[in-house]
Amino acid sequence: MYELKVQLPPEIDIEDAKLMLAIKLFETGKLSLGQSAKIAGYSKQAFMEVLGKYNVPIFDYPADDLQHEIEL
């Protein structure tokens, strides 16, 4: 595993930065829900709730696939 060191301005909270990084890595499919939750320092359930607050979908299900499942 790699370690990332970043210098942040004093007005940026470290925990907020970790959360934003975890959300973006999850949203782009780079990390799983569990991996992202761990980086952010949350349980999976709590991280899912945070994702909802930021309007980030938990499931990446293409609309065509969903329509096909509904028709079945």
Widest distance between CA atoms in the chain: 54
Q: How many domains does the chain have?
A: 1
Show the domain range for 49: 14-71
- 13-16 CB contacts, 8 Å cutoff, 24+ apart: 15/41
Give pLDDT tens digits for 14-70: 999 999 999 999 999 999 999 999 999 999 999 999 999 999 999 877 777 777 878
Residue 8: inside a domain, yes or no? no
Residue 39: inside a domain, yes or no? yes
Residue 9: inside a domain, yes or no? no
Residue 1: inside a domain, yes or no? no
Report how far residue 52's alpha carbon sits from residue 27's, in angstroms, rounded to the nearest whole number.
Answer: 12
Report how far residue 20's alpha carbon sits from residue 16's, in angstroms, rounded to the nearest whole number.
Answer: 6
Residue 48: inside a domain, yes or no? yes
Say what the pTM is: 0.81
